[in-house]
A and B are shown apart, each in its own frame.
Chain A
Amino acid sequence: MITLPARPDRNWLRSFSVAFALGAGLVIVALAQLLDTRPPLRLAVAVTLVIAVPGLLRPLLMYRIYRGWNRLARGYARIARHLLLRVCYYTVFALVARAGSALRVERPAPGTSLWTPRSTLPPTTYASQDASPTASKDGLAGVLLWSIRSGQLWAIFLVPFLALLRMLEAEAKGGPPADIYTLY
């Protein structure tokens, strides 16, 4: 959400000019507030106009700033995503892991078959993204609904992390990695 398309069209650049100009104006006002001086409204308006007007009339002039912003935003997103995932993993997962996992890795008793009984899903579940008979949602509501329906209530704690991660956006990967069978 904070990163923008790598190849913007003119309208994207125009929108960016306006948003960036307004942001710059707001920063000037905010700085004045912080320094306890009277907000230089004229300066703020002037800076906003100086950035926005040429950006609207000649959007390509903004391209360098746009790229610079994107580079910064990507760097920030990468670091923030990493930190967020770290916090999520070493708090939520590390804690919940103490209660165990459904993954069975321990050695079975000799002669034990690893075939476990299963049933064929009834067609009433086809509308759902999980195994329940009612249609599911996507996005955060989907995760919430699934965690309740599946009894994985702890996964509700993941929702804020997922929401923030969505804002930071996943980077597009160039296909599955070669050294591992991807599990997702």
Chain B
Amino acid sequence: MATYILGISAYFHDSAAALIRDGHIVAAAQEERFTRRKHDERFPQHAVAYCLAEAGITARDLDAVVFYEKPYVKLDRLLETYLAYAPDGFASFERAIPAWLGEKFYLPRRIRAALGEEFRGQLFFTDHHESHAASAFFPSPYEDAAILTLDAVGEWSTSSIGYGRGNRLTLTHEMRFPHSLGMLYSAFTYYAGFKVNSGEYKLMGLAPYGRPVYRDLILEKIVRLQDDGSLWLDMSYFNYCQGLTMTSEAFHRLFGGPPRNPESRITDREMNIAASIQAVCEEVVLAAGRYVHRQTGSTRLVMAGGVALNCVANGRLLREGPFEDIWIQPAAGDAGGALGAALLVWHHLMGRPRQPDPLDSQQGSLLGPRFSNEDIGLFLDSVGAVYEYVPAEDRLLDQVAALLEQEKVVGWFQGRMEYGPRALGCRSIIGDARSPRMQRVMNLKIKFRESFRPFAPCVLREFADVIFDICPGTDSPYMLFVAPVLEEWRVPLSPEDIQRMRDPDLTVRVSVPRSKLPAITHVDYSARIQTVDRERHGRFYRLMRRFYERTGCPVIVNTSFNIRGEPIVCTPEDAYRCFMGTDIDCLVLENYLLLKNAQPPALRIDAEAYRAQFALD
């Protein structure tokens, strides 16, 4: 009889559920995709229901449910933090304790209640960073590897290092709260006017516009960085332990003013701040990587934790660090903790062996719901959408490749939804990377977001090293590494372009083409690449191949299928709504092809009204 273990992460941010059967990942999904509330932190009721349905079981069949952290160890840290600052810190205390009481006080009871009386299995709690480490090592393709987790904070740990071998992982060292690379990065995210815990990737995207002029100041005043990548933060510059903001007045004085107001204009100061903290972050990641290499002697590294989503730092670690290969959990943030917790119970508690898959066991991170052509057809008929059903894949791919070649923006919905923050070709908006207008159109008319941010390229794996500065055969299927575009693809800047690159308006700067693939090339010639291969990506690979055969270009633009503030679409309904509320030209739902200009005008959704449904992130 099969053993089913359900992992859960919840009550912090990005709640999720993951189900494994005899150690094999059956399903995993984030709750936000179902509730349509970005970073939903509530109990992942819908994600759990989906996981059980995908496996064809009920809660009665679950052998164990695992929560991804230890609530009482977290309480210990919380209380010790207030002890360190009392009698200051009441405002934060007043918020934290009722929230902890509301969510964690009766946690086992709440989990059992949510699963229903049917659930008779055991309930477990694993350590936050061990859950991260397990999510990185166990699905990786390696028999043994060094482990590095870089996060904001779990219970007490903020980062940890160790090694994994076979079905065991061992964490040997940790950095402890409040000294945290994730917190440091989040503090600068807040200071630059972006939302904490969701705007960090915007700060990373902003960094190439600035110069790291504050790097030395940060390392001199705020951060003491050791050669081994460990860091100490001068807490007089921060307010997150005892206050309701990330940074203190001393921090604001140091950088010459208060934090930028969200949605206000981004100035050189924010760009330089972003470049500086990004430079520091990369130094920490490189130093920590070298340290864990010295400690373990391993030439392979696995990573997880929120900071492991910093693909610029990851790219540098891969290029300049001591490792031959790096594997990063695609759901590196807390959502991935659900998977790690379940795998930890399977391998550590139950002692079951592990057989690494040469590709990895993450299955392309395509672990969410899929919808059949029948379901989609029923839905489209119910709303009166106009579509063409194209049963032959060859013809469908021909049509879509032709539309891409005509610079159309395509909503691409096929197969199982991605687990993790990136759209990897199953819930994606795609376009022609060669088009000079693509970035602008996608940013302003479809994503409705700040236009300084680059789009990611999907590249056929066999061509990745022809366009980007990476080793031949490098795999980056999860869009977690940034690499420079090779010199021969870059275009020189004219004197007018150089002038435009000094424009205070970032929308002007970003419109200056940097390469023959302008839609995916950032201002520093970098790109966040996703390699696409036949084994993992199936139809998406075949589409790209068809596009390449037509155009000679093995690259397309890939961005997540959503608008700003909206979780990535999950169902055909979500996808159709997004299609009708934006300027996406065509929508492909499995074998159904829909053209925007063929849709009945009555079904058109007002863009303003559509945007208003989602809080800005």
The interface of chain A, by Cβ under 8 A from chain B, is 81-82, 85-86, 89-90, 93-94, 96-97, 100-105, 107-108, 111-121, 123, 126-131, 136, 138-139, 142-143, 146, 150, 152, 155, 158, 162, 165-166, 169-173, 175-184
Contacts and interface: CB of A to CB of B under 8 A. Distances in A.
Contact of B83 (A93, A116, A173, A177): A93
B230 A113 contact: yes
Given A126-B349, A184-B74, A179 B244 contact: yes
Nearest to A104: B176
A177 B244 contact: yes
Contacts of A108: 224, 232
Secondary structure type dominating chain A contacts: loop
A149 to B, nearest CB: 9
**B: interface residue count bin:** 35 or more
A170 B99 contact: yes
B169 A115 contact: no
Given A118-B172, A180-B244, A180-B245, A101 B80 contact: yes
B105 A166 contact: yes
8 smallest beta-carbon distances between A and B, as pairs = A170-B102, A114-B230, A101-B84, A170-B98, A130-B72, A103-B84, A123-B349, A101-B83
A170 B100 CA distance: 9
Nearest to A92: B86
Contact of B125 (A94, A100, A128): A128
Contact of A123 (B173, B179, B226, B348): B348
Nearest to B95: A177
Given A121-B127, A126-B349, A179 B83 contact: no
B161 interface: yes
Contacts of B98: 81, 85, 165, 170-171
Interface of B: 12-13, 37, 39-41, 66, 70-87, 89-90, 92-109, 122-127, 130, 152-153, 157, 160-162, 169-179, 182-183, 186, 190, 195-197, 224, 226, 228, 230-232, 234-235, 240-241, 243-246, 262, 291, 344-345, 348-349
B87 A116 contact: no
Given A116-B174, A175-B39, A181-B186, A89 B235 contact: no
Given A97-B84, A115-B230, A181 B106 contact: no
Given A105-B84, A179-B196, 7 more contacts: A85-B93, A85-B97, A89-B90, A103-B178, A120-B170, A181-B197, A183-B240
Contact of A173 (B99, B124, B228): B99
Contact of A89 (B13, B86, B106, B344): B86
Contacts of A118: 157, 160, 171-174
